Structure 1
Amino acid sequence: MSTTMHETPDHKLGRRRFLGVAAGAAAAGAAVATGLSSGAASAAPGKANGLLIPAPNRGIILYSVRDRISAAPDSSGVPYGFRQVFERLSRIGYREIEFAGYTQSTQILGRQITTEEIRRLLDDNGLVANGTHATIPGTITPDTLAAFEQQLDIAEALGMKHIGTGGDPTGSNYKADWDAAAERWNILGEMAAKRGLMLYTHNHDAAYGFLLDSGPLDAQGRPTRSSGVRKLEYFFGLTDPKYVFFELDIYWAHVAQHRFRTYTDPDGFTQTDVFDPVATVAARTKRFPLFHAKDGVRTGEAPGVGGGYTMVPFGTGDIDFATFFRQIGAKGWHLPNWEQDNAPGGSADPGRSLRYAQLSYDNMAALRG
């Protein structure tokens, strides 16, 4: 799938339906133009001017600015390392941080930064760690459980309430593998809960494809057709809602909506079922404490062909975030983290990911229902 950026001189709020109410958009735009967000910051969750994402809930996963977290000291003038990047993100207005690793260039301190030092930098900049894409064991053994406890130690030290992973519970299409994954996640989720943490998994598009659970068997004895249930939605029912939670990647959910529209039923007939990201969250809204607020522009591919979208900064694409956040329920409760996989500009444009962080924050702050 292509990830080519759609660059324009100024694509902030370029698609007006994104904001929902024209008057609200104008007021928000004026605040952004002056570099201020005091109106959003003072608004009560879900109230003033139809605000959909309260200021304290606006977050970022550091994967979006991974190039600047990992950068060595240079002469570009662009922030590098945890200290400088946290300072910039805090000035932009972000308050919630999701981690994607805990290391920076050893050239900054002459050694690797410690967990305790990262926590101090968070506190110094008024930032809260809301989660992490850590390594979740693929098997249950004494060694893997001990390694998971170490991940829980780090999460606790950084003040997190959630711990998760950037991958799906399994990449399989088959029921037996999802059954095994659910058993494992229930065990790990209970371990996390005993430490005051919520274990979550982050979806890609394939997780919302159809489970192969019926029909004739293939040469390896595996089913070849589907009852119409989607893989991750099957997982919802197998896992304990007290212990296993979810981070919906809104972009990948829309890619799934584009890709996975038909399945072959147990009798061999083609059935159509279009995925609804809003409905899957609204039915179990408090099992989704976190989101990846990632935007995309439609590529023009026919439904079911390719991915259908390419990633762009939040608020400059075709995904209707106003409707999404208005309809999922529990307004003001969720923590959306901006993510854009292709934000880094490389050596040719080292400041791009932080510019996109600013643009995406401004558009998130302007989002009205």
Structure 2
Amino acid sequence: MDEAQRREGQPGRPNPQLTRRRILTASAGAAAVLGAAGLPVLQTATPAIGKGTWTVEPLIPEQNRGIILYSVRDRISAAPDDSGVPYGFERVLARLAELGYKEIEFAGYNQHSSILGRQITPTEIRKILDDNGLVANGTHASINAATFQQQLDIAEELGMKNIGTGSDPTNSNYQSDWDAAADLWNELGRQARDRKMRLYTHNHDAAYNFLLDAGPLDANGRPTRSSGVRKLEYFMAKTDAKYVFFEMDIYWGYVARFKHTKYINSAGRERTSIFDPILTVARRTKRFPLFHAKDGNRNTALANGYEMTPLGEGDINFQQFFQTIGEPDFHHANWEQDSAPGGAANPGQSLDFAALSYQNMADLTIYRNE
């Protein structure tokens, strides 16, 4: 992909950057990835004249376009001010609905107590959602056995179909700890399913680093080398597909592709393995109901290899990603940008980025032949 294809705009520009040339390039790349993996190829090439009736459809259905409130956390938590920028749940959610978002993923349930003279309740948040035609599609809560039923109570009050966390099931590098986490999550996932919800975990890049599962052992009897299996993919294999689901953070997936490329095998030899976020999902697409549609510009001078941008303003090819994984009605895309808040100097920045990111998400399209 050349520079012109990767960078057709600069962060903050209001116009969508998804040109026909970029879409067609993405389509060709997606077909190559699918074909190499033995997966079905979606048809999104330029329609040929006289070759049937072609329609253009949104790649991410309107009802599945969401936002995690962490992206606008500065305005959710803001005290009443004279900036003219919305603050608190009632005003911010109304603005997000005006922008076009249909779904909300929560990152906590608190706002500034001065708005109501007390803390808002889940029942009051649910009314705000309903009044604005919004649906709660998930949350980043603390998932543990002691408080899980209380978290399910809140999720049920808010009408969620998914309940999750922004943390890994374990921070360990060792197989035994991931085995224990899988046992716990299978049980909690069963409890969630009993209440008609799906339990999910959200990744950062470390989750796709290599598991330490091979000898020799250290002084504590722990493995020091790897078979080349990645931690979260091991967890996927150990958990029951009926009970445990995943939210791919696409940005952190590409950071993992950049950072976690080498491991030392049991014989002490260095091996290279490149992580592919697209194929990780495409091979088990129904285990990923949710995504963080988080974009970034490639910058290899940075430790992570990318720096975050509004959606559609970076180098990550969302057209290729969502086209390749298929199942558009099943998948829900939540825009996220950790760095969206502009602070006191620009209190409206996070909501401005939310507007730009929604427009770029809506402009992702696919051709179909009827």
TM-score (norm 2): 0.86
How far off its partner does 1:330 sit?
1.2
Q: Please give the alpha-carbon distance, in whole angstroms, between the structure 2 residues aligned to 1:48 and 1:243.
A: 37
Q: Please give the alpha-carbon distance, in whole angstroms, between the structure 1 residues aligned to 2:348 and 2:115.
A: 19
Q: Please give the alpha-carbon distance, in whole angstroms, between the structure 1 residues aligned to 2:300 and 2:154.
A: 43
The answer to whether the 8 Å contact 1:130/1:160 transfers is: yes
C-alpha distance 363-166 of structure 1, shift in aligned 2 (>3 A): same
Partner amino acid, structure 2, of 1:158: L
Q: Please give the alpha-carbon distance, in whole angstroms, between the structure 1 residues aligned to 2:170 and 2:21.
A: 34
Q: Please give the alpha-carbon distance, in whole angstroms, between the structure 2 residues aligned to 1:337 and 1:136.
A: 20
Cα deviation, 1:50-90, whole Å, max 9, x if unaligned, reads 42101111000000000000111000000000110011000
Residue 75 (structure 2) pairs with residue 68 (structure 1): yes
Alignment root-mean-square deviation, CA: 1.9
How far off its partner does 1:329 sit?
2.2
Matched positions, count:
331
Partner amino acid, structure 2, of 1:331: P
How far off its partner does 1:110 sit?
1.1
Residue 315 (structure 2) pairs with residue 312 (structure 1): no
The answer to whether the 8 Å contact 1:122/1:129 transfers is: yes
Residue 192 (structure 2) pairs with residue 202 (structure 1): no
Q: Please give the alpha-carbon distance, in whole angstroms, between the structure 2 residues aligned to 1:51 and 1:130.
A: 20
How far off its partner does 1:10 sit?
1.6
Alignment of 1:1-369 (within 5 A): 8=11, 10=13, 12-14=15-17, 16=19, 19-21=22-24, 48-137=55-144, 140=145, 144=146, 147-301=147-301, 306-369=303-366
Partner amino acid, structure 1, of 2:272: T
Q: Secondary structure at the match of 1:107?
A: coil
Q: Please give the alpha-carbon distance, in whole angstroms, between the structure 2 residues aligned to 1:7 and 1:111.
A: 42
The answer to whether the 8 Å contact 2:16/2:360 transfers is: yes
Aligned residues with identical type, % of pairs = 63
C-alpha distance 97-71 of structure 1, shift in aligned 2 (>3 A): same
**2:45 corresponding residue in structure 1:** none
C-alpha distance 279-72 of structure 1, shift in aligned 2 (>3 A): same
TM-score (norm 1): 0.86
Query: Which deviates more, 343-352 or 263-272?
Result: 263-272
Q: Secondary structure at the match of 1:98?
A: strand
Cα deviation, 1:205-240, whole Å, max 9, x if unaligned, reads 000000010021112211111111100000001101
The answer to whether the 8 Å contact 1:19/1:366 transfers is: no
Q: Please give the alpha-carbon distance, in whole angstroms, between the structure 1 residues aligned to 2:118 and 2:303.
A: 44
Q: Which runs of 5+ in 1 are unaligned?
A: 1-5, 23-46
How far off its partner does 1:48 sit?
4.5
The answer to whether the 8 Å contact 1:12/1:315 transfers is: no
Query: Which deviates more, 324-333 or 47-56?
Result: 47-56
